[in-house]
Each structure stands twice: as structure tokens, then as C-alpha cells.
Amino acid sequence: MLFNSLPFLYFFSVIYLVYWNLNNKFKLLWLILASAFFYAYWDVFYFLHFFSIIVAGYIIFRMVLKNTRTYFFIIGVILLLGNLIFFKYIPVTVRLLYDLTGYEIFKSIHESVPLILPLAISFYTFQILAIIIDARRGNCKDDPGFMRFTLFILFFGQLIAGPIMRHSDFFHQIENITFNIDKAREGILLLVFGLFKKIIIADGFAGIVDQVYASPASFNTASIAGAIFVFPLQLYLDFSGYTDMARGMSKLLGITIPENFNAPYLSRSFKEFWQRWHITLSTWLRDYLYISLGGNRVSRLRNYLNLFLTMVLGGLWHGNNYTFLIWGILQGFYLVAEKITQPNQFKIYNFLSPVIIYLLWTFSLIFFRASDLTAIANLFEGLADNTGEKAEGLESLGRYIVFFLIAHSIQWKKNTLKPYLVKKMNYAIIFSVVILYTQMIKIELTGIKFIYFQF
């Protein structure tokens, strides 16, 4: 069930109407059941696997919370990372071993165990790890109980692609959930804005980007350059659109989940960019990986290495392809180089920094989007020879870029605009929004998934 689909509209409508007619205890149970159905709708087997991980995670969390012995914590980390590695990295490793050695045994293993990556495995792994690490550090001292723990991990509002929540973001909110009209109005604004970003703009860019990256050797220079240049816009609109929808639906249910984007393409440094882009992942990597490696409490050289390794591992978290490794290496290089050279001391850099950041980010995303190095080579070859055909819909890029600028400006000025928009909304507009939601979904006939669902 995609958020941008009619089945989800029907699903959420039923959940919402029943939810606000239940007392608080049954609200939580209703959300757990709804979330279980939402995940099982994709695959029942992987839901059972996911639920077993939640149960195991809760048991380990309780052990770590009540016992100072390190081995409970180590068992939990090994279990969660082992589960992630088994599904996400073992298949590609076996395939790589076959490609390198040619041994048939590796080919046989790869073909006999065709593992499919469970939905949301990277996100729920990090969320369970976070609460176990917090318990180990003494930052989480109370047991919320199995039902609340399960809802914290399973909540359909942010399950598939985040934001990655912390226990401090969630548990205090579900003790006594009450309806708040301002929160509901804000939720509707976020929901519609997210739909607009995803369906109207991001999927418009996808028409050009998907063509070119599927067969780069077939297109001319203008088409390839256009696809490379606008993919960062598509990625931002697709992912932040999903996040807006997730936050909007959660607010309609009386729950606030963290913001994940804050006008990242206005950043004046890569450090600032990663404070504005995929914020919950960036802070997770900082708090649970970078700081654990020693952070900046070590020598300067070691600090650079910690920063570099954090971004490399962040790249590998995104995918099991070596292109994601290269993407992570580039992010680490950008941040370390920026820290060493401190380019913001130059006035010309300060003036041009958002453009420079965007261009370097765009280059790195070639490795994020392309399927392999051969596709990347074909992209650069096509840029140079200009012998291919023009991509269908290339002339519409300008219109979508204007839409992006509007959406990005709204997010930049959201704190100024939100109070005004919320106050001007009324119950008649709520009905109008439902109609708009239905009409916008009808535009989206191809079922384009959210990009971050693959992680």
C-alpha cells in the first residue's frame, strides 16, 4: 500500500474514523493492529519475521535496562546487525565472490537462496538499535511495556522510510492522546503538501530521470545532463514528500514525529547540508556511530577518520551495491575536506556556496542513482558524444523546476506561513482537501514508489 494510492486512502480513512472513537488504551491497540495489517499487506512472511525481531528486541532491551552486564547489549547488537547483514549484504557478497573467483559453489548459493530485502529493514534496525544503546547509556531508564515498544517500532505512519524516531520523540505523546484541531489542520496541510511534492513534481522529474538512467547510452547530451541535474530535486521532493505525508498522517492521529528536511539546498556548507538533509539519519549517525568512534574528542587526524568512516558506513546503510560505497566515500571526503580547508573564510565561497554544494552533491548522486559502474560510464560517454535521442518530456523540466522552487521556498518559510495557513483553515476546507487528495491520486496512474522504500 503506497501512501499515494487509493487503497491507502480507504485504509487510513477507516483507521482514522475508528481511532477517535476509542479510549486511549484501545487507541494504541488499534494502531498496532493497523500497523501490522499495513506491513502484512506487503508480505505476510516478512511481517512475521519483523514481529519476531520486535519481540527479540524488546527482550534484549529489558535485559540491558535491568542488567549492567555487557554481553546482553552485545547480543542485541549482533542480532540486529546480523539480521540486517544477512538480508541486505550476504546475497551481494556471494554474488561478488562468484564474479571474482568464478567458483560455481558461490553461484549455486546465490541462486538457491534468492533473498528479498524485507521492507523497512534498515530503518527499523536503526530504531531498535537506538533504544537499546540509549538503555545501555542510561538515557532510557523506564520500560514502556511491550505494547508501547511494539507501536514505537511498528507505527505505520513512519515505518517504511522513517523518520527514524527516538524513544524521547514518542512515548510521552501516547500516554494521553487527545484531539487537537490545530494539530489536525497542520496535519492536513502537511499531507496535501507532501502529495503535491511527490505526485505533481517528483514523479514529473521521474519520467525523464528513469528513462535516462535505464538506458543512458540511448540519449543525447541534453537529456543526460538534464537527468543528472534534476535527480537531486526528484530525490528531495520524493523523500521529503513522503516525510511530509507521514508527519501529516501522524498529526491527524495526535502524534508528532520528527522533521526530516529543512530546505537543504540553501545550505552554505556540507556540514549544514547534513543538518538539513535526512536529519534523523544524520543525527543517528552522529550520536550512535560518530560519537562512539570518539567523535571530536580525539586527535585531529583521528577526528577526520571518524567523520570519514561515519559517512562511508552511512553510504553502505543505503544499499549493498558498491556504488553506494563510493557515494558514502564522496560524502566523507566532502566533509573532511571542508573541515580541513574551512572554505567559508573566503567571501567568494560564501556567495557561491549553495551552488557549489549543489553541484558536488549532484555529482555524488550519480553513484547513488546509477545501477552500476557500467551505467555511470555510459552516462559520461553519452554526455561527451551527443549521438543519442532526446528524452521524452525533456521540454517540461523547466515547469517542474519552477514547482520545485515554490515547494522549497514554502519549506524555507514554513514557520512564517504555517500559523497563517492553519488559522485560515476551516471544516469546509477539510472536505475540499479530501476531494483534492482523491484527484491527485488519479493523476498518479503508474504506481511510482517512493525512492527510499528500497532501503
219: phi then psi, degrees, rounded to nearest 5: -120, 160
User: Which candidate in 110, 167, 318, 408 is catalytic?
Assistant: 318
| Model pTM score | 0.87
In terms of domains, do 174 and 190 share one? Answer: no
Residue at 1 is within a domain: no
Alpha helices in 113-163 (DSSP H): 121-137, 146-154
Mean pLDDT of the residues in the chain: 84
Residue at 366 is within a domain: yes
In terms of domains, do 309 and 423 share one? Answer: yes
* Range 97-121 average pLDDT: 70
Question: Which residues have a Cβ under 8 Å from the Cβ of 170 and sit 6 or more positions away?
Answer: 152, 155, 255, 257
| Dist CA 360 CA 364 (whole Å) | 6
Please choose, from the candidates 171, 84, 190, the residue with its C-alpha nearest in 3D space to the C-alpha of residue 131.
Answer: 171
In terms of domains, do 102 and 250 share one? Answer: no
pLDDT digits (tens, 9 = 90+) for 416-436: 666 666 565 555 455 556 655
Q: What residues pair up with 389 in beta bridges, in sequence order?
A: 219
Whether the per-residue pLDDT at 446 is higher than 50: the answer is no
Please choose, from the candidates 374, 288, 362, the residue with its C-alpha nearest in 3D space to the C-alpha of residue 330.
Answer: 362
Band (pLDDT 50/70/90 cuts) for residue 391 is confident
Number of domains in the chain: 2
Domain containing residue 440: 182-454
pLDDT digits (tens, 9 = 90+) for 411-421: 776 666 666 66
- Given this model, what pLDDT does residue 34 score? 94
Annotated catalytic, 318?
yes
Q: Do the Cβ atoms of 249 and 187 come closer than 8 Å?
A: yes
In terms of domains, do 321 and 406 share one? Answer: yes
Question: Which residues have a Cβ under 8 Å from the Cβ of 402 and sit 6 or more positions away?
Answer: none
In terms of domains, do 172 and 204 share one? Answer: no
Number of other CB atoms surrounding residue 10 within 10 Å: 11
- Given this model, what pLDDT does residue 319 score? 80
Q: How many Cα atoms within 13 Å fall on the side-chain side of residue 395?
A: 0
Number of other CB atoms surrounding residue 438 within 10 Å: 11
In terms of domains, do 134 and 227 share one? Answer: no
| Dist CA 281 CA 277 (whole Å) | 9
Whether the per-residue pLDDT at 445 is higher than 50: the answer is no
Residue at 429 is within a domain: yes
pLDDT digits (tens, 9 = 90+) for 269-280: 999 999 999 999
pLDDT digits (tens, 9 = 90+) for 83-94: 888 888 777 777
In terms of domains, do 23 and 119 share one? Answer: yes
Domain end, chosen from 138, 155, 178, is at: 178
| Dist CA 197 CA 245 (whole Å) | 10
Domain end, chosen from 111, 146, 178, is at: 178
| Dist CA 148 CA 24 (whole Å) | 12
| Residue 102 vs residue 177, higher pLDDT | 177
Band (pLDDT 50/70/90 cuts) for residue 408 is confident
In terms of domains, do 309 and 396 share one? Answer: yes
